[in-house]
Amino acid sequence: MTTAMTTAMTATTSTMTPAKDVPASRPPRWPSRHPLGHLPAIHSDPLAFFREAHERYGELVSARAANVELTTVANPDDWQKVLVSELQAYSKVTRGYDKLKLVLGEGLVTSEGSFWRRQRRIAQPAFHRRRIEAMGETFSSCAAEEAMAWRSAASAGATVDVAEAMMALTLRIVGLTLFSLDIRGDAARVGKDLGVLLHEFSRVTQAPYPWPEMMPTPANWRFWRSRSRMRTLVDAIIAKRRASGEVGDDLLGMLMGTEDADTGERMADAELRDEVMTMLLAGHETTANALSWTFWLLASHPEEQAKVQAEIDAVLGDRGPTMADLARLPLTTAALDEAMRLYPPVWILGRRTEREVELSGHTIPAGRLIFLSPYILHRNPKLWDAPDDFRPARFVPDPETGKVALPHKLAYAPFSAGQRKCIGDHFARSEAVIILASLLREHSVVARPGQEVVPEPTLTLRPKDGLPLQIVRRGAKVA
C-alpha cells in the first residue's frame, strides 16, 4: 500500500460527525471527464480502481460509472452501520444482484424481506455447530483422497493446478455433506461452466446498457449454455431425491421437507432449485478460492509454511486431522484467516441506500449504489500494520484471552456481518483447516522461481489462469 493511501485514508476519521446545524457535506468525489465516467477503469481493473479511489480521497469516496453514482466505503464504523446497526436503510436492489439472479435465481444470497427470512429459517439448522461436527469425517476422508493424488503428483515430479484441485474437492464435499450426493464425475464440467458464468457475470454487470446478456453473441451463448447445464445438474439432484421416496436428513431434506410456519406449504420446485444452486455455488467456489490463496501465500513464503507444518506435526504426528484437532491448530487457522484478509474470496458487496443516510459525517442520498470491498477494508493502513504483508501471526489468538486482537470488530469481514452474514462460515473454516492440515502434513507446496499469480476479481477473487504449484513430498529435495 502506498504512502498516499496511508495519508488519504488516515485523513478521514470515523469521528467526523457534523456539528448540529452545520449542513452535512457530500462525500469527496473523484471526477471524470470520460463520457462513461470511471466505468472503463472499473471494467479493466476493478481492484486498482478501488485502491486508487481510496488512496486519493480517503475512506469514503464517490464516483460515476456511466449513469450510476457510486460510493465506496473503507471505514469499519461505516461498515457497521451498513451491515448491522442501520441495515434497514440499505437493500440489495443493485444491478449486481439483479444479474446474479440470472445465475442463482431467488436463493438465500439474492432474496430479501420475508421470503429471505423464511428461507434462512429453514436452512439455518443444517449449519448448526453439531451438524458441522458430524461432517468432519467427510471433510477428512475427501482431504485424504486428495492427499493420495498429491502423492502421485509428487512422485511423478508433476505440478498440480491447485485452484482446479480445490474447486473439485470443495464441490465434492458440498455435494456429499449438504445433498448426500457424490458429484465427483461432474466436477470438471461444473468447474468449466462455473468459470464461464463468473466471467460473463462481470461483463453483464459492468455493461453500460441494460440487457447485455440478451444480445446474440458467442459470449452470451456460452453463458446461457453453461447456465442450462448447471440447472440440469441441480434438477437431477432434486429429482433423484424425490425418486428415492425419502426426504433425507441433510440440507436438501430440510429444504424439501420443512413446512412454512404460516402457510403450511412446502417449497415449490423452482424455489428449491434456486436454493440448491445457491448452496452448490456459494458453498464451494468461495472455500476453494480461500484454500488456493492460502496455498499460494504459503508457497511464496516458505518460512511461514515451515511454521504451519511444525504445528501440524506436533498436533497430528502420523495421523490425519479430525474436527477435534481444529482448536489445537491456531497457526494453520491463522494462515487461512490471513489469506482471506489479503485475498477475500468475496471481494466486494453492493448495497443501495433506500433513504438518505450518513456515513463518516457525509450525507448520501437515497438510491445511491454503495460498495463495501473486504479487499480494501482488509488493506486499510489505518487499521492494519504493513497491510500488504502476509503475517499469519496477526490471527493467532492471545493465549490468555483466547481471542484474536483485531484493530476493530469490523476490520475483518470476509464473511460479511449482521443478519446477512454468510451462513456457511463455520462450515468453510472447519473444512478448509482440515484440508490444509491433511495436505501440508505430507507435502510442501513450492512456487516456481519468479512465479506470479494475479487475482481475477469476478464475483469472487480467483487466481487468474489457475494456480500451478509443484508438490514436494516432505523431506524430499526440490527438483
For ligand HEM, the closer of residues 254 and 346 by Cβ is: 346
Among 283, 361, 387, 463, binds ligand HEM (CB under 6 A): 283
Question: 27, 46, 76, 424: which one contacts ligand HEM (CB under 6 A)?
Answer: 424
Residue 17 CB, shortest distance to ligand HEM, in Å, is 26
Q: Which of 176, 308, 428, 472 binds ligand HEM (CB under 6 A)?
A: 428
* Distance, CA of 479 to CA of 369 (rounded, Å): 51
Q: Which stretch binds ligand HEM (CB under 6 A): 24-32, 283-291, 292-300, 360-368?
A: 283-291
Q: Is 380 in the site for ligand HEM (CB under 6 A)?
A: no
List the one residue from 9, 65, 282, 434 that touches ligand HEM (CB under 6 A): 282
Closer to ligand HEM by Cβ: residue 255 or 472: 255
What are the backbone angles phi and psi of residue 16, rounded to the nearest 5°?
Answer: -80, 50
Interface with ligand HEM, residue 420, by CB under 6 A: yes
Burial tier of 161 (Cβ tally within 10 Å: 0-12, 13-18, 19+): middle
How many chain residues touch ligand HEM (CB under 6 A)?
A: 23
60 vs 126, beta carbon nearer ligand HEM: 126
Interface with ligand HEM in residues 342-361 (CB under 6 A): 345-346, 349
Q: Mention every residue, 6+ apart, whose C-beta is less than 8 A from residue 478.
A: 446, 470, 472
Cα(147)–Cα(443) distance, integer angstroms: 8
Cβ distance to ligand HEM smaller for residue 250 or 304? 250
The rounded distance, in Å, linking the Cα atoms of 299 and 303 is 9
Q: Write out the DSSP string of 419-454.
A: GGS-TTHHHHHHHHHHHHHHHHHHEEEEPPTT----
What are the DSSP E strand ranges found in 283-442? 349-353, 357-359, 362-364, 369-372
CA 24 centroid distance within chain: 35
- Take residue 176 and report the three cell numbers written for it: 456429499
Positions 92 through 111 that interact with ligand HEM (CB under 6 A) = 108-109
Q: Report the C-alpha gap between 56 and 270 in whole angstroms.
A: 46
290 binds ligand HEM, rule: CB under 6 A:
yes
The reply on whether position 120 binds ligand HEM by CB under 6 A is yes
Of positions 72, 226, 278, 380, contacts ligand HEM by CB under 6 A: 278
Q: Which residues pair with 443 in a beta bridge?
A: 473
| Binding of residue 334 to ligand HEM (CB under 6 A) | no
What residues make contact with ligand HEM under the rule CB under 6 A?
108-109, 120, 174, 278-279, 282-283, 286-287, 290, 345-346, 349, 414-416, 420, 422-424, 427-428
